[in-house]
Amino acid sequence: MTHLRVEEQEDGDLISLELDNEINALQSQLSNLKSQRFHRASTVLSAETTLSQLSFIRKQKETPDATVNIESLLSTAKAQYSHNQTNLYRICATITPFRIQDPDPNAVNNGHILGLRFDVSNNGKFIRPYYIMLNKLWNGEKNMLSVHRHTLPPAIPLSTLVEKYLVNHRGPLALASGSKVRTGKQSLLIFSRALRRSIVAYHNRLSLIKNFRIAFGLDVDDDSAMIYDEEIILDLSALDSEMKNLRLEWIDGRVGRIVINEDGEIKKCIIISEGKRHRASERALSGSLQNLGEKLWEEHCRRRRSTLNSDDLN
C-alpha cells in the first residue's frame, strides 16, 4: 500500500511539473504575441497615411459608433506621432541644454545654472538620461563654468574631462591651499561631446560584455540562449567599473587579461598557459572588442583541429 502511494505521489508530481511547463510556455507565447502586436500597431500608426485617413474618415461622420472609434484611433495615432518625434529628436540631438534656477537666495550668479541632458540608446532602447549641471566658480573670480551637480556613474572619467576642457575649474581644496587657477580657454562644446563619447563607449562595453556572457552560457539558465554550442569559457568578467579590464578563463586552464581603450579596441592582451605566455592566442584576440566572441570561437576551433591532427599523426 505504501509503495502504491509513493508511485501515485510521483505520478502527481510529474503531472504537476508538466502542467507548470505548459503554463510557462503559454505565458511566454502570449508575451511574444503581445510584443508583436504592439510593434505592428506602432508601425501602422507611425505612417503618415494612417493619420490622414483617420482624419478624413472622422470628417465623414457616417455613424456615431464609428465616430467614437475613429476619435480613439486618431488620439492614439497622434500620441504615437508625438512619441516618434521625441525619439527622433533624442537620436539626432543627443545633447540638450536647458536652464535651471537655484532656489537658494545666496546662490552664485543669482542661482542661474546651465543643465546638459545626455540621451543614450542601448539595444534599441533609450536608457535613463544623464544630467550634468554647471554654474560659475563659487568664489566669483572668473566668469567660467564649473561642475555643480551630475548624475553620471563613477565609471565615467568626469574629473579628467573637466580638467582638460573646463580649465580654471577648481574646488574648495585647491582654493584653501592657495593654488593658482590655471589660465586658458574653456570649450563647453568639446567638453560635452567628449563626455557623451565616454558615456556611449562605456555603455557599449557594458552591453558587449553582457552579450558575450550570454553567448557563452555564463549568464543563462537555458542552454538554448547560447550562441556557441560548446563550453569553452569558464569566466569572462570585468575587473574595474569602467569595463576596460577584462579577465578570461578558458576551460582548458588558460587565463587571460585584456585591456580595452576608449575606442573599444583591445589595447593589450596577455594569456598564460601552464606558466607561460601563449603568444598565438594573444595574436588571435587582437583587434576590436566587438569581434571578441567570434575570435574566441575561431581560436577554439583552430586549437581543436590542431589537436585532432596531432592525434592522427600519432
**Strand positions, DSSP E, the chain:** 95-101, 112-118, 121-122, 125-126, 130-136, 145-150, 233-238, 245-250, 255-260, 265-273, 276-277, 287-288
Secondary structure letter of residue 61 according to DSSP: -
Q: Positive or negative CA dihedral for 90, 91, 92, 96?
A: positive
The pTM for the full model equals 0.71
On the 0-12 / 13-18 / 19+ scale of CB atoms within 10 A, 77 is: buried
Q: What is the pLDDT of residue 225?
A: 58
Element spanning 15, H or E: helix 2-46
Q: Which of 233, 234, 256, 232 is nearest to 245 (CA)?
A: 256
* Amino acid letter, residue 175: L
Helix or strand run (H / E) with residue 196: helix 188-215
- Asked if residues 96 and 119 have their Cβ atoms less than 8 Å apart, the reply is yes
Could you tell me if 245 and 258 are in contact, meaning their C-beta atoms sit under 8 angstroms apart?
A: yes
pLDDT tens digits, residue range 51-81?
A: 777 777 777 655 555 545 677 777 777 777 7
Q: What is the mean pLDDT of each run of 10 residues along the chain (314 residues)?
A: 58 77 86 81 74 73 56 76 81 89 84 92 87 78 79 93 77 45 73 94 92 84 65 90 93 92 91 90 89 88 77 59
Query: What are 269-314's pLDDT values in tens digits?
Result: 999 988 899 898 899 898 899 889 888 888 888 888 877 766 665 5
What is the model's pLDDT at position 40?
A: 78
